[in-house]
Structure 1
Amino acid sequence: MRTVLDVVGVCLAAAVLLIIFFAFRRRWLTKDGGTFDCSLQLAEKDHGRGWALGLARYIGDDLQWFRVFSLAWWPKLTVNRGQLQGVTTRRPMGNEPLVTYAGHVIVDAELRDRTVHFAMTEEALTGVLAWMESAPPNTQTYL
């Protein structure tokens, strides 16, 4: 019986440490501001499949995306402002409202070599569009 209690205690301690780690990691990622909740479709599948919850942040000319539940300190995806060709938006379809944050719109970002699908609030979309348009002079127009 004591062994079972020891195993349960170790599992509970590990779960608490993991929750503390995720909270600390999120705090560290958001310390400089410019972050927002943002889901990303990691795999091109049917609507509602392949989505991961995350958060995005602006770092200079880059938009970095991080998974919420990950042990990694580095971004899963980095999009440079120069790669963006344009964006289109749509409402979530199929199962997408179930696997993304509530009230988010789907943003299809056209990059030079592929399309990336984000889900974010309309306020965050306004920020992304402003970030895209705020490129330094003598660079291409993105929209």
Structure 2
Amino acid sequence: MVVAVIVALLVLVAAAGWFWFRLRTLGRRVGSFPCAIRDETGWASGIACYTALELRWYRVISLSPRPRHVWARGRFAILGPARPIDAGDGPSRGPLRSGSLVEVECRVRDAAGAESTMSLGISRGAYAGLASWLESAPPGAGLRRAIL
């Protein structure tokens, strides 16, 4: 009985340590920012990370090292201007608690060509970064044209 309790405590401590390490690592990556997604069930807090070719979204409450969503840069579009989120309408937990959030309606196309829409809850600064990332070319995109 004592051994089972000790093992259970060790598992809990290991899981808590991994959770802390994962959030700390995700939050310190270059190009990462707090980002909530709204679906049918409500808001889910997460951390989004830019790469050269895709935007990756990691759920905050998770132990998985893999992103929950991955959106290719060329298949992701902002549908309209950002709208301020009222304190009662936005995410109430996690890294996105302040009243300076905006809701951004986005369209995503999967590899098969099916389109879906979603809302992101992000800060105004993160919105400016997202719009800039979408409007700019990925690194090396013009290199081939310059060589030919």
TM-score interval for Structure 1 and Structure 2 normalised by the shorter chain: 0.7 to 0.9
Alignment of 1:39-58 (within 5 A): 39-41=36-38, 43=39, 45=40, 49-58=41-50
Counterpart check, 1:102 vs 2:97: yes
Gaps of 5+ in 2: 110-114, 143-148
Higher mean displacement: 84-93 or 63-72: 84-93
Counterpart check, 1:126 vs 2:132: no
Counterpart check, 1:74 vs 2:76: no
Would the alpha carbon gap of residues 11 and 29 (structure 1) be closer, same or farther in structure 2, given more than 3 Å must change? same
CA contact (8 A) 1:40 1:119 kept: yes
Count residues in correspondence. Answer: 130
CA-based RMSD of the aligned residues comes to 2.6
Normalised TM-score (structure 1):
0.74
Gaps of 5+ in 1: 139-143
Write out per-residue CA displacement over residues 81-138 of structure 1, whole angstroms, 9 at most, x where no aligned residue: 1112324322335543435622322111122401121111111111101101112568
Q: Percent identity at matched positions?
A: 32
